[in-house]
């Protein structure tokens, strides 16, 4: 897999498990750029949304994010960072940040090694993409604004410190939503044969349960298995109504709302479930996606008593094993399986 994560913040659950967030913060969800929500911070306390890459660590990392500066006063509160050695002493190799003139700089550690050829405009959305290869000698960096290259570095030192020769985490910070907000994030690595380079200006749209799917085996908090989708369709997620099962193999599937955009390239479909265990002992679940006649399940994940968002991303259509066709998106079902 090379497309590792997407987040449009429309489900208002970004801080509940999709990202590791450090330190504690107060989230803001202002209006997004395409009708949903964006992400910001309700206070002026700095914080970072960190995505550990786990088994998908790689020496090449790509990250895209839609960014809107509302005021030049907030320039210092936005950055993107590429990191490694997160399991021991975290090392930030590269920091992509906005300076006082609204130009983007890229720094290795505390040393600036590049500055964008144009400034980020205030009051409009700019899609920022950064790609880097980690090396002491033959590293590279490219930054694009709305598809236009504004920083290009080759054969440079991009490794700040540490022992790893791969990136194992990507992060971004967007401080104080009176000054700036962000939306529509993707993270890729350089592996594989697809989604291993810039994706361009992407939109991440949340499709919520809006009717029953083809399986309803979980018990609802209302005491039955009828119209379970009504118990899992809230934004933000609610724990006052829910579905549950302690029987391995039980599955709930839900039909989804139609996408707002009827055409376009689909790079991946990500299923997010907000889950927790209610009994002692090991309890697992799997995310489920049904495309046509094929039901695909994600890896089994261990649950805790604290609710968290568990994600599974499919880069290819499980029914055809090919890239997604936009026409298929409107007929998908998604859900959960007890494992």
Res 285: pLDDT: 97
Mean pLDDT, the chain, as a whole number?
A: 92
Express each pLDDT in 128-176 by its tens digit. 999 999 999 999 999 999 999 999 999 999 999 998 999 999 999 988 7
Kindly indicate the confidence band of residue 74, based on its pLDDT and cuts at 50, 70 and 90.
low
Question: 42-55 in b/e burial notation, b at 16+ Cβ within 10 A?
Answer: eeeebbbbbbebee
Token duo for residue 49: 């949304």
Domain boundary among 146, 161, 189: 189
Least confident of 34-43, 78-87, 283-292, 328-337: 34-43
Determine the Cα–Cα distance for residues 309 and 100; give it in Å rounded to an integer. Answer: 36
Q: Are residues 242 and 329 in the same domain?
A: yes
Res 15: pLDDT: 64
Q: Are residues 70 and 134 in the same domain?
A: yes
Q: Are residues 135 and 213 in the same domain?
A: no
| pLDDT, greater one: 171 or 178 | 171
Residues whose CB is less than 8 angstroms from the CB of residue 301 and which lie 6 or more positions away in sequence, other chains included: 284, 285, 286, 310, 339
Is residue 90 one of the residues assigned to a domain? yes
Res 156: pLDDT: 98
Q: Are residues 268 and 227 in the same domain?
A: yes
Q: Which of 57, 2, 49 is nearest to 168 (CA)?
A: 57
Domain boundary among 189, 221, 256: 189
Give the percent of the chain with pLDDT over 70: 95
Res 13: pLDDT: 73
Express each pLDDT in 259-316 by its tens digit. 988 788 999 999 999 999 998 889 999 999 999 999 999 999 999 999 999 999 999 9
Is the pLDDT reported for residue 111 higher than 70? yes
Is residue 197 one of the residues assigned to a domain? no
What domain range includes position 87?
3-189
Q: Are residues 177 and 40 in the same domain?
A: yes
pTM higher than 0.85 for the full model? yes
| pLDDT, greater one: 181 or 41 | 181
Is residue 55 one of the residues assigned to a domain? yes
Q: Give one DSSP letter per residue of 289-324, joined into a string.
A: EEETTEEEE---EE--SS-EEEEEEESB-TTTSSBP
DSSP code at position 122: B
Q: Are residues 48 and 97 in the same domain?
A: yes
Is residue 195 one of the residues assigned to a domain? no
Q: Are residues 162 and 217 in the same domain?
A: no
Q: Are residues 17 and 84 in the same domain?
A: yes
Is the pLDDT reported for residue 212 higher than 90? yes
Kindly indicate the confidence band of residue 46, based on its pLDDT and cuts at 50, 70 and 90.
low
Kindly indicate the confidence band of residue 81, based on its pLDDT and cuts at 50, 70 and 90.
very high
Least confident of 25-34, 105-114, 177-186, 241-250: 25-34
Is the pLDDT reported for residue 334 higher than 90? yes
Q: Are residues 159 and 22 in the same domain?
A: yes
Determine the Cα–Cα distance for residues 138 and 161; give it in Å rounded to an integer. Answer: 15
- Pairing mode of beta strands 301-302, 284-291: antiparallel
Please report which helix (H) or strand (E) contains residue 269, including its range.
strand 269-275
Q: Are residues 155 and 225 in the same domain?
A: no
Least confident of 43-47, 89-93, 219-223, 272-276: 43-47
Least confident of 48-52, 93-97, 115-119, 127-131: 48-52
Mean pLDDT confidence for 200-220: 96
What Cα–Cα distance (Å) separates residue 128 from each residue in 134, 220, 251? 20, 42, 39
Is residue 73 one of the residues assigned to a domain? yes
Least confident of 88-102, 142-156, 194-208: 88-102
User: Is the CB of residue 261 less than 8 Å from the CB of residue 272?
Assistant: no
DSSP code at position 328: H
Mean pLDDT confidence for 194-214: 96
Kindly indicate the confidence band of residue 45, based on its pLDDT and cuts at 50, 70 and 90.
low
Cis amide leading into 236 (omega within 30):
yes
Is the pLDDT reported for residue 47 higher than 90? no
Q: Are residues 29 and 152 in the same domain?
A: yes
Q: Are residues 239 and 152 in the same domain?
A: no
Res 20: pLDDT: 83
Express each pLDDT in 5-25 by its tens digit. 999 999 887 666 788 877 556
Least confident of 34-43, 58-67, 125-134, 250-259: 34-43
């Amino acid at each position: 897999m090379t497309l590792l994560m997407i987040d449009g913040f429309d489900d208002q659950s970004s801080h509940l498990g999709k990202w590791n967030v450090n330190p504690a913060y107060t989230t803001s969800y202002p209006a997004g750029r395409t009708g949903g929500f964006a992400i910001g911070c309700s206070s002026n306390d700095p914080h970072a949304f960190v995505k550990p890459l786990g088994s998908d660590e790689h020496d090449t990392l790509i990250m895209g994010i839609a960014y809107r500066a509302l005021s030049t006063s907030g320039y210092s509160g936005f950055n993107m960072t590429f990191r490694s050695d997160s399991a021991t002493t975290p090392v930030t190799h590269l920091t992509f940040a906005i300076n006082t003139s609204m130009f983007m700089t890229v720094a290795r550690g505390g040393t600036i090694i590049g500055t964008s050829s144009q400034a980020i405009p205030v009051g409009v959305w700019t899609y920022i993409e950064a790609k880097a290869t980690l090396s002491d000698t033959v590293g590279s960096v490219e930054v694009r604004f709305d598809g236009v290259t504004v920083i290009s570095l080759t054969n440079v030192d991009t490794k700040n410190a540490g022992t790893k020769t791969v990136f194992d985490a990507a992060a971004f910070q967007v401080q104080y939503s009176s000054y700036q907000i962000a939306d529509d994030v993707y993270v890729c690595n350089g592996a594989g044969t697809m989604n291993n380079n810039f994706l361009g200006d992407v939109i991440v749209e949340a499709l919520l349960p809006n009717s029953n799917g083809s399986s309803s085996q979980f018990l609802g908090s209302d005491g039955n298995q009828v119209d379970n989708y009504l118990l899992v369709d809230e934004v933000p997620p609610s724990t006052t109504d829910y579905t549950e099962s302690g029987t391995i193999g039980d599955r709930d599937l839900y039909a989804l709302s139609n996408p707002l955009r009827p055409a376009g390239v689909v790079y991946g479909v990500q299923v997010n479930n907000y889950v927790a265990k209610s009994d002692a002992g090991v309890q697992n679940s799997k995310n489920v996606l049904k495309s046509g006649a094929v039901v695909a399940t994600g890896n089994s994940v261990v649950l805790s008593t604290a609710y968290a968002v568990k994600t599974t991303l499919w880069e290819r259509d499980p029914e055809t094993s090919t890239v997604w066709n936009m026409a298929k998106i409107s007929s998908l079902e998604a859900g959960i399986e007890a494992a």
